[in-house]
Chain A
Amino acid sequence: MAVAAKKASQASTNAKSADSPRIGHKSVGSWTHQQDMAAYREMLLIRRFEERAGQLYGMGLIGGFCHLYIGQEAVVTGTRMMLKPGDQVITGYRDHGHMLACGMDPKGVMAELTGRSGGYSRGKGGSMHMFSIEKGFFGGHGIVGAQISLGTGLAFANKYRGNDNLCVASCGDGAANQGQVYESFNMAELWKLPIIYVIENNRYAMGTAVSRASAQKDFSRRGISFDIPGEQVDGMDVRAVKDAVERAAQWCRGGNGPIILEMQTYRYRGHSMSDPAKYRSKDEVQKMRDEHDPIEMVKTRLLANKVANEDDLKKIDAEVRAVVTEAAEFAQTSPEPDPSELWTDVYA
Chain B
Amino acid sequence: MATNILMPALSPTMEQGKLAKWLKKEGDRVKSGDVIAEIETDKATMEVEAVDEGVLGKILIEAGAENVLVNTPIAVLIGEGESAGDVQVAAPASAPPPAAASAAPIAAPAIMPAMASAEHEPAMDAASDDGRPWSWDKAQPWAWMAAGAETSDITMREALRDAMAEEMRRDELVFVMGEEVAEYQGAYKITQGLLQEFGERRVIDTPITEHGFAGLGAGAAMAGLKPVIEFMTFNFAMQAIDQIINSSAKTLYMSGGQVKNPIVFRGPNGAAARVAAQHSQDFTPWYSNVPGLKVVAPSNAADAKGLLKAAIRDPNPVVFLENEILYGVSGPVPKNDDFVEPIGKARLHRAGKDVTLIAWSIGMTYASKAAAELEKLGIDAEILDLRTIRPMDTGAILSSVRKTGRCVVIEEGWQQSGVGAEVVSRIVEHAFDFLDAPVLRVSGKDVPMPYAANLEKLALPTIAEIVQAVRAITYR
Partner-B contacts on A (CB < 8 A): 63-65, 112, 115-116, 121, 123-129, 141-145, 174-175, 177-180, 205-208, 212-214, 278-279, 336-337, 339, 341-343, 346
Partner-A contacts on B (CB < 8 A): 179-180, 183-184, 187, 205-209, 211-212, 235-236, 238-239, 272-279, 445-448, 450-455, 458-459
9 CB-based A-B contacts, threshold 8 Å: A64-B272, A112-B451, A115-B452, A123-B450, A142-B235, A206-B184, A207-B183, A214-B207, A342-B459
Q: How far is the CA of A341 from the CA of B453 in the complex (A)?
A: 12
Taking CB atoms, residues of chain A closer than 8 Å to B445 are 342-343
Taking CB atoms, residues of chain B closer than 8 Å to A343 are 445, 447
Taking CB atoms, residues of chain A closer than 8 Å to B207 are 174, 177, 205, 208, 213-214
Nearest residue, chain A, Cβ from B272: A64
A115 touches B208 (CB 8 A): no
Q: How far is the CA of A214 from the CA of B148 in the complex (A)?
A: 51
Minimum CB–CB distance for B414 against chain A, Å:
11
Interface centre among B239, B273, B454, by most A CB within 10 Å? B454
Contact A337 B454, CB 8 Å, known A179-B209, A207-B180, A346-B447? yes
Instruction: A342-B458, A346-B447 given; name 8 further pairs at CB < 8 Å.
Output: A64-B276, A124-B276, A124-B451, A125-B277, A142-B235, A143-B236, A342-B447, A342-B459
Nearest residue, chain A, Cβ from B280: A64
Q: How far is the CA of A112 from the CA of B455 in the complex (A)?
A: 13
Minimum CB–CB distance for A161 against chain B, Å:
28
A64 touches B273 (CB 8 A): yes
Q: How far is the CA of A144 from the CA of B279 in the complex (A)?
A: 11
Taking CB atoms, residues of chain B closer than 8 Å to A208 are 179-180, 183-184, 205, 207
Instruction: Please pick, from A64, A145, A278, the residue contacting B274 in the complex, using a CB distance under 8 A.
Output: A64
Nearest residue, chain A, Cβ from B449: A124
Taking CB atoms, residues of chain B closer than 8 Å to A177 are 207-209
Q: How far is the CA of A145 from the CA of B211 in the complex (A)?
A: 12
Taking CB atoms, residues of chain B closer than 8 Å to A213 are 205-208
Contact A339 B454, CB 8 Å, known A64-B274, A208-B180, A213-B207? yes
Q: What 8 A-B pairs come out closest when comparing CB atoms?
A: A126-B451, A63-B274, A64-B274, A115-B452, A142-B278, A123-B452, A207-B184, A177-B207
Q: How far is the CA of A207 from the CA of B453 in the complex (A)?
A: 29
Instruction: Please pick, from A129, A206, A341, the residue contacting B277 in the complex, using a CB distance under 8 A.
Output: A129
Minimum CB–CB distance for A333 against chain B, Å:
15
Instruction: Please pick, from B212, B239, B451, the residue contacting A64 in the complex, using a CB distance under 8 A.
Output: B451
Taking CB atoms, residues of chain B closer than 8 Å to A337 are 450, 452, 454-455
